[in-house]
Amino acid sequence: MARNIRKPAVRKQESTDRAKRAARKRRVLVLVATRKGAWLYHGDAARKTWRVDGPHFLGHVISHLVLDPRDGRTLLAAAKTGHLGPTVFRSTDLGRSWKEAARPPAFAKAPDGQPGRAVDHTFWLTPAPAAEPGVWYAGTSPQGLFRSEDGGVTWEPFSSINDDPQYRKWMGTVQDGTPDGPKLHSIIVDPRDPAHLYFAMSGGGVHESVDGGRTFEPILKGLEVVEGFDKTEPTFHDPHCIRLCPSNPDRLYQQNHCGIYRLDRPSDAWVRIGKNMPKRVGDIGFPMVVHPRDADTVWVFPMDGTSVWPRTSPEGMPAAYATRNGGKTWQRLDAGLPGSQAWWTVKRQAMTADALDPVGLYFGTTSGELWMSRDEGRQWACIERHLPEIYAVEAAELT
Amino acid sequence: MKVLIPSSLRSYTEKSEAQASGATLAAVLTNLDRQYPGIRFRMIDEQDRIRRHIRIFVNGEQVRDLSQPLTATDEVVIVQALSGG
């Protein structure tokens, strides 16, 4: 019988070499969705040079562009134009060719005589975990939840919430939502249990299902609302972005209209960790980015939420902020970013991280600049300027 | 009948003019969608309403009701209305 007679030290060296070879093959693909089309940026192994592929769908409003991590080649793009209704485009060859969904997300037809809702645009796309190949979720404006079981070719209303009278009341009207329409976003599937779901609505609060979406319940405890409104009423809650930590799926972070929060399950009480941010910067913003391997580390990108809500960088000096201890303390990360007169900001889907070591961070601005950091935010560099207003940035890994 | 297609929808038809049949505007649009899958939903929402920035003219008159009767000699023009920058 053959025996492995290599010494442990030799085997360890071989294993390290294999890991290094695998790491050298890893490439980051940055997916940029804008108000006027989509762009793909292919990075080299060092994440120093980027090959641009685009525009795709020039003139289309692309709200979200996502790579299916389960096959590494299928892309879904949530699209509409100024004139035309919403749709979803699908590519199975990394954007070389696109085909439109046969049945894009659409609400059920209302009974005769009743005003039904129509999807204005699909806003958010979430692939399910590996245990559910082909399953995707979509959140729309106005607020609706949809699911596809065939990789995004056909979509159906999901759960009862789209037509549930209580949920409809919490969703409010178009006037109760964000300036370009109320949205359902931050659809999260627990990687350990596909029946455990979260989503958020602006406005309408954060909601959880433990029965595969048959029923949902709000999770609002600890969250602030605008002064004078009732905290117990979901309709007054405006979560901007919720993220679940891959390294600890019992921990979620939230950037809200009224602060930054952490939730450690099974507790249902959010803790406002944004109070520890510098007072002159505050804890208002849109994106929330979690570290792929460290549940104590997250990044936010604050904006000016004072007076009339300018939605610009505070004092014209943009910066990311990171905590490495679950929100006890925050560190300003602005090296390489403009030091003055930079009045852009970053939307809720427009900041993300890759899973390399050290983690790469990426964000797109309302003024059409794409920035990245190869060292977890210590130093920033601009990859691209002069794009249209950036709505979403995703980082995917190609091997 | 002849249906004139605006530039924003020619990714479906690949031409500025299409032929479609039907006794009503709704039927014509359904027939058009059968030939060019997906085109109807970009113009008509799931509640059968003409989308906000789409206008449809029949023989030069704007039509807002999909049940409008049509004949084979009618000319349908689909127009993209102003929608901002």
**Is A246 inside any structural domain?**
yes
Q: Is the pLDDT of residue A295 over 60?
A: yes
pLDDT band at A7 (very low <50, low <70, confident <90, very high): low
CB interface of A with B, residues 114-133, below 8 Å:
115-119
pLDDT of residue A108: 96
Do the chains contact at A84 and B54, CB–CB below 8 Å?
A: yes
- Locate A103 and state its tokens: 């049945």
Instruction: Measure Cα distances from B40 to A81, A103, A353, A374, B64 in Å.
Output: 14, 11, 38, 45, 15
CATH number at residue A319: 2.130.10.10
What range does the domain containing B33 cover? Answer: 2-80
Q: Which residues of B touch A87 (CB under 8 A)?
A: 38, 41-42
Nearest Cα to Cα of residue A115 among A125, A107, A123:
A107
**Is B42 inside any structural domain?**
yes
In three-state secondary structure terms, A391 is: strand
Cβ of residue A81 closer than 8 Å to a chain B Cβ: yes
Average pLDDT over residues A106-117: 92
**Is B48 inside any structural domain?**
yes
Say which amino acid occupies A105. P
Nearest residue on chain A to B9, alpha-carbon basis: A84
Express each pLDDT in B20-63 by its tens digit. Answer: 999 999 999 999 999 999 999 999 999 999 999 999 999 999 99
Do the chains contact at B83 and A82, CB–CB below 8 Å?
A: yes
Nearest Cα to Cα of residue A95 among A123, A71, A65, A121:
A65
Do the chains contact at B41 and A106, CB–CB below 8 Å?
A: yes
Q: Give the count of domains, chain A.
A: 1
pLDDT of residue A3: 47
DSSP string across A61-115: EEEEEEE-TTTSS-EEEEEE-SSSPPEEEEESSTTSS-EE-SB---PPPPPTTSP
**Is A350 inside any structural domain?**
no
**Distance from the B35 Cα atom to the nearest Cα atom in chain A, whole angstroms:** 13
Where does residue A249 rank: exposed (0-12), middle (13-18), buried (19+ CB within 10 A)? middle
**Is A112 inside any structural domain?**
no
Alpha-helical runs (H) found in A309-374 = none
Q: Which residues of A touch B11 (CB under 8 A)?
A: none
Where does residue A376 rank: exposed (0-12), middle (13-18), buried (19+ CB within 10 A)? buried
pLDDT of residue A180: 85
Express each pLDDT in A188-215 by its tens digit. Answer: 999 999 999 999 999 999 999 999 999 9
The number of beta carbons lying within 10 Å of the beta carbon of residue A83 is: 22
The set of residues, in sequence order, having a beta carbon less than 8 Å from that of A298 and lying 6+ positions away, is: A243, A253, A288, A289, A290, A291, A322, A323, A327
**Is B85 inside any structural domain?**
no
Q: Give the count of domains, chain B.
A: 1
In three-state secondary structure terms, A26 is: coil
Express each pLDDT in A27-55 by its tens digit. Answer: 999 999 999 999 999 999 999 999 999 99
Nearest Cα to Cα of residue A345 among A281, A385, A270, A287:
A287
Q: Which residues of B touch A84 (CB under 8 A)?
A: 8-9, 42-43, 51, 53-54, 80
CB interface of A with B, residues 92-111, below 8 Å:
100-102, 104, 106-110
Instruction: Measure Cα distances from A265 to A23, A211, A251, A270 in Å.
Output: 33, 17, 6, 10
CATH number at residue B16: 3.10.20.30
DSSP label of A196: -
**3-state SS of chain B: helix, strand, coil percent to 5?**
25, 25, 45
Average pLDDT over residues A311-317: 94
The number of beta carbons lying within 10 Å of the beta carbon of residue B51 is: 21
**Is B27 inside any structural domain?**
yes
- Locate A378 and state its tokens: 């210590």
Q: What pTM did the predictor assign?
A: 0.93
**Is A382 inside any structural domain?**
no
The set of residues, in sequence order, having a beta carbon less than 8 Å from that of A171 and lying 6+ positions away, is: A142, A143, A182, A201, A203, A204, A235
Nearest Cα to Cα of residue B1 among B79, B63, B75:
B75
ipTM over 0.85: yes
What range does the domain containing A298 cover? Answer: 66-107+118-345+355-360+369-377
How many Cα atoms occupy the beta-carbon half-sphere of A142 within 13 Å? Answer: 19
Kindly compute the dihedral angle of the four CA atoms of residues A269, A129, A346, A59, in this order, to the nearest 10 degrees.
-140
pLDDT of residue A159: 84
Say how many residues make up chain A.
399
Nearest residue on chain B to A83, alpha-carbon basis: B53
Express each pLDDT in A115-145 by its tens digit. Answer: 899 999 999 999 999 999 999 999 999 999 9
